[in-house]
Structure 1
Amino acid sequence: MTHRTDIARDHARPALPTQLRTALQLAELGLPVLPLREGKVPFGNCRTCKHSACGDRPHMKAGGPCECPAPCHGWAAATTDPDILTSPAWARAWRQAQAVAYHPGGAALTVVDLDHADAIAWARENLPATKTVTTTRGEHWIYLGTMTSHNAVRPGVDIKSAWSYARWLGPGTGKMALLPDAVRALAVKEPATAAPATSAVVVPAPPGDAVCRHRSPAYLERGIAMAEQRITEASEAIHRTVYRTFLVVLSAHGWCGCLTDNHIGRLFTAAQEKGESLRHCEVAWSNARMKLGM
């Protein structure tokens, strides 16, 4: 039975700011969120970090959550923790917030930000269809998968994923597709001058390696086979085994561009045969890439 005192107490509770209510709903869906102030930019540094006195870059390079009590350091403040979002330290920011942003990379997503009609036309001709969100000037195309963020990869096109934030503008329409190689390729800078037609393309080797070992088919095949076996023979902690196996494969074979869709498909198949969903495989792969800074 509800007592009148309980009803009076509920009515006495202050209503949550609209932006905070939206943020809490998104956090429940697994999207790390943060408030944006006027001008659609994150709130400034707290007193401790005024003018970046703490050194934002190392903090951001680590990819860890912001340790300041109030929203600070842009995307690094994004969180799914309702206790942080509703804490007194964040209250002032939510009262002043003009919009809500989220960290795509933290949710294993990549946003292709298309700023005008020409960029949208280009995307429709060159990128696979995916979930689309209308923005004030163009569209956000959202893919499942994580990569490093890059601005101005072509006229009117930005990529927002790891180490970045995107404004929440609604759920959008369409079915989300996996992050295609065509988007990853946008982040690869063209050489300043074209190489002669007879020159071979040289792939930078990891420190300490004079030659890319992965040019040997046997070396790469052995690594993929061992990874498949490790997943197949796992009897417990399947989630953890899949993620750690992906991490090992990427750390050994992911820097030289030798991994193909066939190799990745074999790993995903082994994981799915152990009961993992395609969604979990994609998230585990993206998280492993993000962990290694790929």
Structure 2
Amino acid sequence: MTHATPIRREARTGHLALALRLASLGLPVLPLRAGKGPLGNCRTCAGNACGGRPNMKIPGPCVCPRPCHAWAAATTDPAVLTSPAWATAWRDAGVVGYHPGGAGVTVVDLDDADAVAWARTTLPPTRTVATTRGEHWIYSGTLRSVNGVRPGVDLKSSMAYARWLGPGAGALTELPEVVRALAEKAPVSVRSAPRAVTVPAPAGGGECRHRSPVYLERGIAMAEQRITDATNGIHTTVYRTFLAVLSAHGRCGCLTEGHIGRLFTAAQAKGESPRHCTDAWSNAQTALGM
């Protein structure tokens, strides 16, 4: 126990030193939690109550000095990175992340061995970085970020963040048309609504008490806030929140695709992929016998 504080301080110093080095090379960086998700917004900015940030295309300026709003907080400014407002962020950070689009690159995130095998037979060689389960293939050029363009493949560029895992190997090459085509044809984007989920209508055909706009809106808003405010255990928080929403509203037919999309969007803003969101939703349905 006596070594906990020095170790924590050493980790924080290491993250900040790495962030400053990457920023000097032109990579906009930000602190990420140990689970690879962004640090949560501060109380003032929770739920984008502050109006968001201009480069997030959300109306209203936000001048919060803290590393809020996930990828939009990424910066190359050493004065910001070393500011007192970011000190707690580096203390709590698990890893260093960066905004690929801000650095002028696109990361093809290959999540498993099958995805890597596909890339090696389909995509032109470029810089590659090993990940826990697969590889990042990095190309010069930007596009919209899209998850799930094919099994185990996500595209991270504009309005997204990626974990820094090292410089990788190989020469950086231009973004190929095959990847651009995937982004254009992909049905699910980072901030789009998830696929429709059907829930059974209430038995007997009676009017659902949850159709009260105030009752339902309050429940969805509270669920969104619970996910947004989570600082750790995001997978568990998302699953339990989905479980609670389905337990209260899943059998009566009042949930719409729009409601579910709001929950998925909140989860994706905390680093969950659309696939993980869908799995959590399905698991919650199974647990409730739906």
**TM-score higher than 0.5 here?**
yes
**Secondary structure of 1:48's aligned partner:** coil
Q: How far apart, in 1, do the equivalents of 2:151 and 2:89 lie? A: 33
Counterpart in 1 of 2:137? 141
Rounded to whole Å, the distance in 2 between the matches of 1:123 and 1:64 is 41
Post-superposition CA distance 1:122-145 (Å, at most 9, x none): 001110000000001100000000
Report how far residue 154 of structure 1 moved.
0.3
Given the two structures, how large is their TM-score scaled by the length of structure 1?
A: 0.57
Structure 2 counterpart of 1:182: 178
How far apart in 1 are the matches of 2:102 and 2:63? 16
Partner Cα distance (1:88, 1:105) in 2: 27
Instruction: Provide the C-alpha distance between the structure 2 equivalents of 1:64 and 1:169, rounded to a whole number of angstroms.
Output: 34
Alignment of 1:158 onto 2:143: no
Q: For residues 63 and 75 of structure 1, what CA distance do their matches in structure 2 show?
A: 17
Deviation of the 1:68 alpha carbon: 1.6
SS at match of 1:42: coil
Distance 1:64 1:133, change over 3 A: farther
SS of 1:111's equivalent?
strand
Once the two structures are superposed, residues 216-265 of structure 1 have per-residue CA deviations (whole angstroms, 9 ceiling, x without a partner) of xxxxxxxxxxxxxxxxxxxxxxxxxxxxxxxxxxxxxxxxxxxxxxxxxx
Q: Flag structure 2 segments of 5+ consecutive residues without an equivalent.
A: 1-8, 188-290
Equivalent-residue separation in structure 2 for 1:91 and 1:53 (angstroms):
23
Q: TM-score, normalising length from structure 2?
A: 0.58
The answer to whether structure 1 residue 129 and structure 2 residue 129 are counterparts is no
How is 1:181-200 mapped onto 2 (pairs within 5 angstroms)? 181-189=177-185
Identity rate of aligned residues, in percent?
68
Which whole-Å CA distance do the structure 1 matches of 2:180 and 2:55 have between them? 25
Q: Counterparts of 2:13 and 2:92 in 1: how far apart (Å)? A: 9
* The one of 103, 109, 113 aligned to 1:107: 103
Native 8 Å contact 1:109 1:144 kept in 2: yes
2:20 is aligned with 1:24: yes
Which stretches of structure 1, 4 residues or more, deviate above 6 A after TM superposition?
A: 62-66
Offset of 1:51 from its aligned partner?
2.6
1:37 deviation in Å?
A: 1.3
- Tell whether 2:82 aligns with 1:86: yes
- Distance in 2, matches of 1:177 and 1:64, equals 37
Q: Deviations over 1:142-166 (max 9, x none)?
A: 0000111000000000000000000
Superposition deviation, residue 62 in structure 1? 6.3
Instruction: Describe the shift of the 1:69–1:58 C-alpha distance in structure 2 as closer, same or farther (beyond 3 A).
Output: closer
Cα deviation, residue 64, structure 1: 11
Give the 3 Å change call, closer, same or farther, for CA 170–66 of structure 1 in structure 2: farther
**Alignment correspondent of 1:117:** 113
SS of corresponding position for 1:17: helix
Rounded Cα–Cα distance in structure 1 between residues aligned with 2:76 and 2:59? 15
Instruction: Quote the Cα distance in structure 2 between the aligned partners of 1:161 and 1:58.
Output: 18
Match of 2:164? 168
* 1:97 and 2:93 correspond: yes
- Kept in 1, the 8 Å contact 2:149–2:186? The answer is no
Hey, what's the Cα distance between the residues in 1 that align with 2:153 and 2:53?
24
Letter in 2 for 1:105: G
Higher relative contact order (CA 8 A, sep 6+): 2
The 8 Å contact of residues 66 and 76 in structure 1, kept in 2 or not, is answered as no
Alignment partners' CA distance in 2, 1:25 and 1:64: 32
Between Structure 1 and Structure 2, whose CA radius of gyration is higher? 1
| 1:64/1:103 CA distance change after superposition, 3 Å | farther
Residue 36 of structure 2 corresponds to 40
Cα deviation, residue 76, structure 1: 0.1
- Give the corresponding residue for 1:77: 73
Distance 1:185-1:66 versus aligned 2 partners, 3 A rule: farther
1:180 deviation in Å? 0.6
Is the partner of 2:178 in helix, strand or coil? helix
